[in-house]
Amino acid sequence: MLDSTTVQRPSTVAGLFAGIGGLELGLSRAGFEAELLCEWWEPAQAVLKHQFPDVPLHGDIQDLKHLPDVDVVTAGFPCTDLSQAGRTAGIHGEASGLVKHLFELLAEASPTWVVIENVRNMLVLDRGTAMEYLVTEFERLGYRWAYRLVDSRFTGVPQRRQRVIMVASRTHDPRTVLFADDAGEPGVEHYRDDAYGFYWTEGRTGLGWAQDALPTLKGGSSLGIPSPPALWVRDAPTGRAIVTPDLTDAETLQGFPANWTAPAQAFGRSGTRWKLVGNAVTVGVAQWLGKRLRTPGSPIDMVCGILPKGDRWPTAAWGDADQRWSVDASMWPERQPYRHLLESVDLAKAVPLSLRATAGFYGRLEVSRLRYDESFGLAVKRHAEWMASPMAEAVPRR
């Protein structure tokens, strides 16, 4: 739990690669105020202008000459070249490579803390080249750093979303932020078995499967098409057992108020908003982080080991220019009250998965060697048959 003994802590933020403001909204709930937001994509800008009307908004980080004098700089830089669903061009790809501008700006700035967020895949892509680049740049600038892989479910949202949170400082120990809490991952009894989330864009090599949760909401499929996940409601009648959640449910599954991204609707169909939500930082994760930035704690006694350069990056580590250490930390720093999936999705607004999507997924599932619940496969088959019948003709499709 957070230590109540505190001195004055950081209170101002500059948000780079701000997206729709997930980091900034979470930090604001922990008592921070944004003094600058930087985001280039117009639909995201529309959201930021509406939700943070009094905060100056800069467009392209490549044109940003300097940072304001703030306590925290956040950078949820593009994951496009790092994620499994993206191009995997790596840290020096056209999109993800923009993070180099963060370090150029930090060379002339003195924030107390720097926060980076990105996908789990950057720990292993190209043998961890992305992590080596980030760590080396922080060390070059005289920062101590720490990172930890966390699962958004620890904040109570039923979305299995694993993201790397990295904190660095020239003057403070980042372990007091990232490693002061560890609740441990709960067992299966933590979850109900009445609903399961999955990605219908997969099936041959993976299910994107999650019990009592949706799998990671993502900006787009491997084809670059924004697509919502689906859920299997075990005891629902055929035709209502395989459905896709409403966009507003996806927003709340990321910790935002419903219709947070509504200002982006003017820039295209709902796919744009799905992409914005999928690219965002879960608000509750940022709020937990913000509380610890304001009130650092004592690092918990965890198993640590020397991490030689070139070794595989673990799920948690810390270090500086002199030494690097692995840390045996779980992905659950806390266990906040959990909202079960069927408590978080409005089934009345959920739309049955279309015949085309269901049939394509079921076909891939049949030829795969994946292990899955036999009842699930049967439910998908029955749903495809029902969607092909006259009974489904009046049903809205996705």
Give the number of other CB atoms < 10 A from CB of residue 163. 21
Active site residue 304: no
Catalytic residue among 55, 79, 242, 353: 79
Could you tell me if 20 and 286 are in contact, meaning their C-beta atoms sit under 8 angstroms apart? no
For the chain, first and last CA: distance in Å?
43
Q: At what angle do helices 374-387 and 355-367 cross, to 10 degrees?
A: 140
- For residue 392, the one-letter residue type is A
The amino acid occupying position 132 is E
The alpha carbons of the chain give a radius of gyration, in whole angstroms, of 21
Report the alpha-carbon distance of residue 165 to residue 124 in Å, rounded.
15
Q: How far is CA 293 from CA 148, 178, 301, in A?
A: 15, 9, 19
Q: Is 159 helix (H, G, I), strand (E, B) or coil?
A: strand
Distances (CA, A) of 231 to 117, 197, 245, 348, 350: 27, 4, 8, 14, 10
Sequence letter at residue 297:
G
Establish how many alpha carbons lie within 13 A of residue 255's alpha carbon, considering only the half-sphere containing its beta carbon.
Answer: 28
Active site members: 79
